[in-house]
Amino acid sequence: MMSHGCTCPGPGPGPAQPHGRPRASTLFNTHLRAPRVQRSCHCPALQQRASERAAMGSVPEEVALGFGGLVGDLREVYESGRTRDLEWRHSQLRGLVRLLEEEEEDIFDVLREDLGKHRAESFRDEVGVLKKSIVDKLQNLKNWAAPEKARTPLVAFPSTALVVPEPLGVVLIFSCWNLPIGLALEPLSGALAAGNAVVVKPSELAPSTSAFLAANIPKYLDPKAVKVVEGGADVGEKLMEHRWDKVLFTGSSRVGRLIMTKAAKHLTPVALELGSKCPCIVDWLDSNRDSQVAVNRIIGAKWSTCSGQACIAIDYVLVEEEFAPILIELLKSTLKRFFTKPEYMARILNEKHFNRLRDLLADRRVSASVVHGGHCNPKTLSIEPTLLLNPPLDSDIMTEEIFGPLLPIITVKKIEDSITFLKSKPKPLAIYAFTRNEKLKRRIIEETSSGSVTFNDAIVQYGLDSIPFGGVGPSGFGQYHGKYSFEMFSHKKAVLKRSFLIEFLFRYPPWDESKIGMLRHVYRFDYVSLFLALIGLRR
């Protein structure tokens, strides 16, 4: 644990932890493990620096357990109206763009420190895609925030109806460790575009990135309206004791359930982005080129995105028995060609996660199915890209989300059987399918349910601003990215304006059959019959 710079006597750091990592916590760690919160210190100098840091938009771990004032201050800022101003929103988005441009090298450094990501992977999956998304918001925000006209029936003439997007208020964002910049700043950009005050709680499992966000967000954004809270599981729990106008959580379903339980106390709306076992159907592809392109994209979506530690990474492959040997050989040769250096693939997050993945392979029935790879290096927290052919369907590797560089390949008699297989499983975040068969594509769309379906590619849907990203059922709910990030943190308020000019008394008692008849004409939009009834020419 790093010193806070205080010269007063205080408690010791506690027992040493493996690799300098703190003790596991039991609640609100975004995936596996949470660091220890520092014990309180009563040094005036430290408290003064803590207050200054909080004023600058970042809340240190030492004082993070008292959030009443923080939430109250943010609500006061929101109620003042400053965040609703369109120019303020634009300025915050421009600040995020500058952060990504000016701090790009530091972002690459912290992602390498936390996850061993290559700078190219960091740019592709986080910096580049984020900047593109924020620029899109800047270009379209004026239109998104404008009131939208809605139709009104002739019987209400003269009247106008509008749908007015308004900010929700003060929102809380929990980000995850596997895309720690993107999963913090993409929803943050949507919340700011919508005009909210925001607290971001970065994942404590990516400590370098968390510290980077805490240090830099106050420099580029309004520090009174945007706060960063660092800390572990108990900090997350304390945050959820307060009333928020919306909470977005990205992480495990276990913690997602805890978030919802806490949110229910205040009837706080929640959006959950959870994991799942994302399947990939690989049809027999006659063209050698098409087969190679499919394999390139499968590898990109499994091993070159945080070493498979991503909620939208391919979890397993479904393929016809006859095509499986060809697919496996193509995967082997392409893996060898793509990963010529160890640094081209991210490492496993930490020791606990590494051991979990190694335990999946320790099952004798599973280890017997390994057809490529399987080597684990605990010193570097790295696991070789591993292919498994038909591991038992009741084994942990086929019942739990893998979240790592292990790829089971499950064979079916006919590729159409894969649809039956998928329908028996929980709804995933994404389904991928490589096929030229239009009938199969149509059946996948119509007969399965998932957050998204992507044909002949994988993971790229995450980077599209024009379509929503999110899960369904056990893979989560709530959608964001592009305009959908703006809408996630907005309330669409209906506004109806009517004149005093025309009044229809058949709306009110005392009732008789003629009034019921007139109401029937109104609800059928039969204005000719209504007019005739009103002037007494028709009953």
Count CB neighbours of 27 within 10 A: 15
Distance CA 259, CA 240 (A): 7
Question: 261: which residues sit within 8 A by CB, 6+ positions away?
Answer: none
Distance CA 508, CA 518 (A): 12
Marked catalytic residue, from 61, 62, 230, 273: 273
| Active site annotation includes 306 | no
Question: 483: which residues sit within 8 A by CB, 6+ positions away?
Answer: 140, 144, 465
Distance CA 405, CA 219 (A): 37
Distance CA 229, CA 242 (A): 14
* 271: three-class secondary structure by DSSP: strand
Contact 344, 338 (CB under 8 A): yes
Q: What are the b/e assignments for 195-225, b being 16+ CB within 10 Å?
A: bbbbbbbbbbbbbbbbbbbbbbbbebbbbbb
Contact 192, 226 (CB under 8 A): yes
Contact 145, 86 (CB under 8 A): yes
Contact 21, 33 (CB under 8 A): yes
Distance CA 424, CA 397 (A): 17
Marked catalytic residue, from 311, 320, 376, 401: 311
Distance CA 504, CA 245 (A): 40
Residue type, 319: V
* 63: three-class secondary structure by DSSP: helix
| Active site annotation includes 176 | no
Tokens of 54: 């909080």
Helix (H) or strand (E) holding 292: helix 288-302
In degrees and rounded to multiples of 5, residue 281 shows phi and psi of -90, 125
* 499: three-class secondary structure by DSSP: coil
Angle, CA 459 vertex, CA 453 and CA 461 arms, to 5°: 60
Tokens of 149: 């006209």
Question: 77: which residues sit within 8 A by CB, 6+ positions away?
Answer: 83, 197, 224, 225
Helix (H) or strand (E) holding 433: strand 431-434
Q: Where are the beta strands (DSSP E) in 297-427?
A: 316-320, 370-372, 376-377, 382-383, 386-389, 406-412
Which among 314, 309, 321, 322 is positioned nearest to 295, based on CA atoms? 314
Helix (H) or strand (E) holding 71: helix 68-79
Residue bearing tokens 């506004």: 495
Q: Which residues are catalytic?
A: 273, 311
